[in-house]
Structure 1
């Protein structure tokens, strides 16, 4: 978005959505954030430049008000937990996206960027896959409701592309960075800190593409400003420039934060059998429950090498992964240490969130003349 526009951001109280807000403000755009009534808006309320509008993706009237007058929608809100009914996932990820698309079309929005996921292409039982590109089709079976509904939502977004209403989707894998309290990295490092993270690699080198939040943001903004004829109706894999050895990466970050390495090492066959058993038994237990402590989907993410070809994003979005992994790790470790260490990482408080939000985001005007 080379010229200043008005941007509607969903999921703005979340990890990636919050970074999208920051980046849009830095570029001088007007930002409107659609937030649910129950969301923690403490950080956003420290930003007078951000217009907050309360509503959810099932409320057609609220979506109309949110989209009215906006040029671009960055849709990052989703149900991303690994538990819940198919109806809950469909309502949040599929129906919610359809509702937002409809509101955007009716109000004259010209660009709709959907934050999708490579999980939309994951098929149960697959092994290692390297250099996957956008020609890979959707699977005929999905690991879970999250994978399926992200695929279905993505299909709706791409099908909505028309002249004057450009839609596209980006697929960042394993987003990580500062201000993430609930993603894979804080969960893994918290378990490691407590001595409860076994090495599930079985001694195998698990090569994966991860995506720092700054890199995911760069791809979103590139998708929002690239020529319509180039990006309309297309999907894009985005990832860090580096290919990561997943368990070595977890160990390195953990050691920088004073954690012992994952242990003990569990053979792959035993780990996968255990994941299947835990997942099956978890859903048989009575009473309320969150996500299973180990699942087949989680094991696939942690034990299957999966890397992505970002050539299409480089060609069409001008994507160049601005944040290196080494810089991202240094910034993350500093942020975690300043916030109370690993023990506090996965237990954010409103007070902490407010304090983190007190650093003013420089706008385009305030950046002029700075070095």
Structure 2
């Protein structure tokens, strides 16, 4: 296949480039002038197209002659104004879809997120029948849901569209995701112990498993107009994992408890203050309803639809993935290097 990727210079995007090249695809990556090409410079045969999601002419040129568009580029930070999120995540997706349609690209794979359907409550082995919530946890969730619906609604006999929802993507080369931020907070000693009497479980998705799911979906004739959860073969106990990460990297596990009343007040105050655009645009809040949900609410997902429709099976198990992550952290110079530059 001839593939165009947006977000190819990012964490999951880089692994999807690897997956496509490993398969023998020809890969073109949309990059901005200031993109950090990093790993991509070492991948043989990758072609670069200069532009961004707001440049319609560049998008049309990038889509010329490709068989599939993988759309990963998004604003994924936990801070920003409504305009910032909407411009990148929604308008940018609309622009790319229009370019793909104009160039008669036959397939469009959108990388979405389970965050699009999170409502702040427990989700146990949830499947794709779950609807979008009436109230979203944050602007990221809201705009990913909006873009996902636009992509799925564009499915037609000329353009097959689908959305892949990997949960908690993790693994080597991640510098900005949930796991580096978690390690940064452990190293700083700022992560409170929010564990309760009952375990909190989560589905996660190792980077190569997520990349494989995207590539398999691009080859299937059964995915048109559908969204799919993808995850590792087994879920994890969130607080047991945090303790293990602390042990692996010689960090102190969380021990400071916070009363539920105080915690609720802190979340309410932070979310009130972060409605001010000047503050929201510059830095992440110290605590948020979204972040609290990830740490205190079970969120596990049923991946049987992905297995049925495009043969998804995780190829890397949790223990192997963890070993690869630890080896990579040591390779780059340890925890200090991993968390350098993490905004928290």
TM > 0.5 between the two? yes
| 1:3-58 residue CA offsets vs partner (Å, 9 max, x unmatched) | xx110011011000000111111111000000111111133223341001110001
> Alignment partner for residue 345 of structure 1, among 332, 338, 344?
338
- Of 273, 289, 312 in structure 2, the residue corresponding to residue 296 of structure 1 is 289
> Do the aligned residues in 2 keep the contact of 1:257 with 1:337 (CA within 8 Å)?
no
Per the TM alignment, residue 211 of structure 1 is displaced from its structure 2 partner at its CA by: 0.9
**Which residue number corresponds to residue 327 of structure 1?**
320
Matched, 1:212 2:206: yes
Measured at CA, do residues 263 and 77 of structure 1 come closer, stay the same or move farther in structure 2, by a change above 3 Å?
same
Alignment match, 1:366: none
Partner of 2:5: 9
Judge which range, 189-198 or 146-155, deviates more.
189-198
Superposed counterparts of 1:172-321, under 5 Å:
172-227=166-221, 230-283=222-275, 289-321=282-314
Deviation, 1:277, is 2.6
Q: Name whichever of 246-255 and 6-15 sits farther off.
A: 246-255
* Deviation sequence 1:155-211 (CA, Å, 0-9, x none): 110011111310000111111100000001000111112222211224441111111
**How much is the aligned-residue C-alpha RMSD, in angstroms?**
1.8
Question: Could you tell me how far 1:248 is from its partner in structure 2?
Answer: 0.8
Q: 29, 32, 36: which one pairs with 1:36?
A: 32
Number of equivalent positions: 341
Question: 5+ residue gaps in structure 1?
Answer: 350-371
Alignment gaps of 5+ in structure 2: none
Query: Contact 2:183–2:339 at 8 Å: present in 1 too?
Result: no
Partners of 1:88 and 1:114 in 2: CA distance: 19
Equivalent of 1:74, from 66, 70, 90?
Answer: 70
TM-score scaled by length of structure 2:
0.95
Equivalent-residue separation in structure 1 for 2:256 and 2:197 (angstroms): 11
TM-score by structure 1 length? 0.88
| Equivalent of 1:169 in 153, 163, 168 | 163
* Partners of 1:128 and 1:306 within 8 A in 2: yes
Most deviating of 338-347 and 92-101: 338-347
The answer on 1:141 being equivalent to 2:135 is yes
CA distances 1:256-292 after superposition (whole Å, capped 9, x unpaired): 1111111213344543332223333455697673110
Return the match for 2:50 from 34, 43, 54: 54
Indicate the SS of the match to 1:180: coil
- Specify the alignment match of 2:113 in structure 1: 117
Q: Distance in 2 between matches of 1:299 and 1:189?
A: 16
How far residue 65 of structure 1 moved from its aligned partner, in angstroms, is 0.7
Structure 1 residues 201 and 274: alpha-carbon distance in aligned structure 2, compared to 1, 3 A threshold: farther
